[in-house]
Each structure stands twice: as C-alpha cells, then as structure tokens.
Amino acid sequence: MRAYYFDNLPGDQRLQHDSGRPLDLGHLRKLGVLYWTVPLDTAGGYEAEINRIAEQQGYKNRDTINVTKEGLGDLYESKLGSFFDEHMHEDEEIRYVLSGSGFFDVREHPSDEWIRIHVFPGDLLVIPAGIYHRFTLDELNEIKALRLFKDEPKWIPYSRSQETESNPFRIQYVKEIAAV
C-alpha cells in the first residue's frame, strides 16, 4: 500500500496522479481508514489471519469480486464508471486484495483533498462508513479482491450531494474524526 495526495491533474484516472506529497498510516487512521498487510503466502495460508481480523472486527460475510473485462463482461465500463463516481456508503467497505492492483481515493475532511491509496496483493483496507471515496483500477486493469461485510453483503453507493451531507452515517463519520 502506498498513500499520497492526488494531484488533481486531468488525465487517465488509472495513472498514478502522485502529487509528491506522501502520507503514512497514522494520517489514514485519523480519517478512520484502517489497513493491514496479510501476505498471500503467510505460513498456513492468509485465510487464518483474515479470519482472525474478521472476527476481531465483526465481519460475518464475504464474497469475491473480480474487476476485469472478463470478470464483469458487458458491465465492465459502467461498473468502473460507478466505482469512480464520488460516493459514500452506510457500511464499511472492506477489501483484501488477492491479485492485481488499484486505487482507492478518499476525501480528507475538512480539507476536501483527495488522498490516493494504491493497493496491491496482500493489502487489507477498510474504508469507514460515511467517508466520501471512489475506486479505479490502475494500468494493470485488473483486481481480484475478497470483500468482507459486517452483515449481509450489500453495496449501496450514495453519490455526494447536499442530501448525503445530512445522512446520519456521514454526520457520525464527521463527528468521529473531529474527535480524533
């Protein structure tokens, strides 16, 4: 995982867009973003460590998503577009990268700057409920990830708007990070 401020320059969203301003895990934690490294070749398999973290965090369900042209078929372009639209969820977004790589961009509050998080195999990333974010593939054009959920799997994006600013999950998120 590598985190830095997004440069906001026009161009292909799949490129680095590195501003040259790196960030560390401590900064991400202040925003409620959690991160673990769980190597795929962990002795005994990565599953045991993922299961331990899932139990600790209360993640009860999981599935796998394969974001490739082959994996998504005719939905590939529309799904990539919807993933990259700025949005929030009322649940945490938890991803463990099995193969490939991509970018999660999160909005820093209160500066409203984009922070780009480049994830690779073995990265486990938790995006908190209520934070504005987006996702895109990088130049490899593929990622396979284990998705973990606290309850039944659901993925409901709420596009950023005046309405989402008054969403109880957004309000709670802003209140929690202000207390850090």
Q: Residue positions in the annotated binding site?
A: 87, 89, 93, 133
What DSSP line would sit under 62-129, residue for residue? EEEEEESHHHHGGGHHHHHHHHHS-EE-SS-EEEEEEEE-EEEEEE-TTT--EEEEEE-TTEEEEEPT
Placement of tokens 């139990």 in the chain = 55
| The token pair that represents 47 in the structure block | 């599953």
The three-class DSSP label of residue 156 is: coil
The per-residue DSSP string of 46-78 comes to HHHHHHHHHHHHT--EEEEEEESHHHHGGGHHH
Return binding residues for Ni(2+): 87, 89, 93, 133
Return binding residues for Fe(2+).
87, 89, 93, 133
The residue type found at 32 is: G
